[in-house]
Amino acid sequence: MKKYQVFWARTQYLASLVAVVAVLFYLIQHSHTLSVALPTDADQEEAIRVVGAKRIAIDSDSPVMKRLQVVNVETAEVTTPLMTVTGVVIASLGHGDDAENDGCQFYSSELLTAYTDWRIAVADVMFLHKQLADTGLLAETQVNAAQKLVERMERLVAIGTDTEKDLVEAQAALVQVQIQGRKDIHEAQTAIRQAQRTENLLAKQLEQAGLAPSLLNADVENRDIIIADIPESRAGQIAVGQRCEVQFLSLSNQTFIGSVHAIVPVLSAERRSVRVLLSLHHEPEDKLRPGMFAEVGLGTDPREILLAPSEAIVHVGLADYVLVQEEVGVWRVVEVTVGETWSNTVEILNGLQAGDLVLGYGAILMKPSLVKALQFKEPEYSRP
């Protein structure tokens, strides 16, 4: 019985071995029928061709085109900030009981000193203007009195009551009054010019310290001033009058609405940034204090933006490009400036228009051809 089992096991093994050898032989003989025709680089090059400077042709019926998504550039209205930066309250104007500086509270002693000096200079200019008006009035009055005296002396000399000497003395006194009046007016005007130069200098110092004098010349009742630094590369997105939303670290549950009041004209050399002054009206409970830090969302006015799929952006070197349909089967390479990302789309700041057809998903596959299109140069034909 044991010999029979061994014989049967060997027989099964030999049968299995023969079957495996037969299958292998069959596969070797018919291997040509199992090959699959895969697209080659040559096929892809025929479907995608650079046809000019920044122009690429793609066969509409090619497998490559079927893998690409064509989408429409659309507009959308948003109110989200153009950018978010940190800021600090530097002044609370028209609030408090300090009569000496009109109830204004400041973040630093340097700012308070600059403000106080500027207010004194403004008061000096106002006083000197009044002084000039009074000096002019006095000079005019003295000249009129001297003129009337000369006219009276002329009549008296004519009837023989007074001598010519008395008339000459009156005329000399008139000239002297006129000269003195012009001198006094000139000195008053010179004093005003000097005071105005001082005021302008102090205004510049105040502005560089972080507070625009225009805020102080306006109605300052119930107003807080926030200063924020904007990166130099994004300074062009900010303009006076833009709406902003402000949240404070210590008042996280409240959002305050303000506006861009002024842009400091001096660029910070250390930070390479531009300072922006934001104006906020006091909230009823008066919780804001100079020195409080804030998160500022700049540019929250409702605005329309262009949106393109994120997949449509092809980055080459230091620039971003999009393939825009020029005609059926022909795509133009367009450089674009991108902004904020919105879900699976990106804001297009420059380069596209609403309604443009662009390659979306799969556009990255076109990068080698896109680079060739950027480097393409039209052939130069020499004259015979």
- Per-residue pLDDT of 162-211, as tens digits, reads 888 888 998 999 999 999 999 999 999 999 999 999 999 988 888 777 67
| The pairing of beta strand 303-309 with beta strand 70-72 | unpaired
Listed residue (277, 185, 266) closest to 226, CA to CA = 277
- Name 277's bridge partners: 227, 262
Q: Which two tokens stand for residue 299?
A: 């540019």
- The torsion angles phi and psi of 39, rounded to 5 degrees, stand at -65, 135
pLDDT, tens digit, 9 for 90 and up, residues 121-145: 999 999 999 999 999 999 999 999 9
pLDDT at 323: 95
- The CA distance from 127 to 142, in Å, is 22
Please tell me whether the overall predicted TM-score, pTM, comes out greater than 0.75 for this model.
no
pLDDT, tens digit, 9 for 90 and up, residues 33-75: 434 343 455 545 578 889 999 999 998 888 888 889 999 999 9
- The CA distance from 334 to 166, in Å, is 93
Distances (CA, A) of 351 to 56, 124, 226: 18, 54, 35
Count of CA atoms in the C-beta half-sphere (13 A) of 138? 14
pLDDT at 98: 45
Burial of 346 per CB tally in 10 Å (0-12, 13-18, 19+): buried
pLDDT category, 252, cuts 50, 70, 90? confident
Distances (CA, A) of 51 to 149, 313, 323, 326, 384: 98, 21, 14, 12, 26
- The CA distance from 23 to 18, in Å, is 9
Of the listed ranges 67-81, 251-265, 300-314, the one predicted with least confidence: 251-265
| Cβ contact 95:222 at 8 Å | yes
